Structure 1
Amino acid sequence: MRLGTKIPNFEAYTTKGKIHFHNWSGNSWVLMFSHPADFTPVCTTELGRLAERAEEFKRRGVKLLGHSCDSLESHLVWIKDIQAKYRRIPKVFPYPIIGDETREIAEMLDMVDEREPSSRGVRAVLVIDPQKILRLFLLYPDTTGRNIDEIFRVIQALQLSSRAPVATPVDWQPGDEVLVCPNVPESEEARLFPHGVQHVAMPSGLAYIRYTSDYLAPHECWE
């Protein structure tokens, strides 16, 4: 699953019914996340936190899609445990979880661990854009829970860079300055960034670091 891969239009059975991925995702971004197994402690905390924050992702135009190689029946029972621990979750669980007992989807999307080829799954994160292109692919070990704040931050950075010729520097947070992409010629700066671009003088003499503010990037950035 290299970055830039187009995600196939797979069919899947979920806790909210059967989906055809391309139709289900529509024009939205998708955060797909796989967990190793139901009824496990780390996974319970992760899916609970994502359920609590589902509306934040929705406001950013992001659909959530869970996955594991457990059965749908197992998912439905486990969801009740998650809701009991995270009481702010809506009574109707906010996102679907795929039941992939045959491991077909896990194998297709490369959500596997070479050290345990027959294991039920891994802790994977896929961010997929509205064109069904893979923009981020992360794999975590079983013992390490994901940071939902970081995933949300990365999605905002990807959305910004998809709508404007900018990149986000180290430790960027929404509202911070961003970097003008190197392929933007100086002659285009005034048109693209009418509120200004700051050039940083480097010992090499090369003007490759240029800052601007994300909220001053092209208007279509915040459509």
Structure 2
Amino acid sequence: MSGAQPSAAHGALALGLLCSVPAAVPGFVRVAGSSSAAIAALVLVASVSLVVVPTGAWLRRVAQSGAARGDRALAAGAALSALPLALFGGVLKSTTHHRPLGGATFAVAALCLLALCVALSFRVYRGGSESAVNSTWQNLFSLGCGLSLAGTAALGLAGAARPSLVEAAALAGAVAVTALAPVPARLARVGWQVWGAGWVILLACAMASLRSAPVSSTLGSRAPVSFASLSWLGDGS
């Protein structure tokens, strides 16, 4: 039996789905006493997996193959857009009472702003750092991206309750394990098609479960970080 590791996508899919279960525990603890605890657990694992699997897959590929210029531009663009999106999300949350409409508005704005920031990052880093002018602009741009990310973290730490910070830490830990841990041989023997089908079924069941308004409102108020990826599908009242 070969000991070769599976591809980055295969490994991230397998590890990400498994790591999503413990990563959802901090959120589940806060809703365990509700009447729909089993459904809440399903939804939380699905919501967490939407963050853990894609992010872990990207970081795992970077760890295995090295960071290309596109990876650097993508990371810088995401960091640069973080602070304005956090501010916009806060305003939207306080002024929009229809959750699906607010979620759709935020999603469109996030995609547009992220695309602009990534395009700007490609432009800044495209010329390399051979000249002093290019190097200076790239350093200033990187500083701006770092400040945006730091500002977002400061906003989150200032406004978040301790349980939400625990949820965020669990998410970060799951992403790190997905990106860096070797895939056990037993998991590697299961084809990526099986993992992919399982993920699709998990997401479909979670989305169907969100038609229940009590589940959505309970998760939105008690586990906001873990439920964030699917919260826009909840009841709009």
Greater strand share, structure number: 1
Decide: shared fold, TM above 0.5.
no
TM-score range, shorter chain: under 0.3
Q: TM-score, normalised by structure 2?
A: 0.20
User: More helix by proportion, 1 or 2?
Assistant: 2
Q: Give the structure-1-normalised TM-score.
A: 0.21
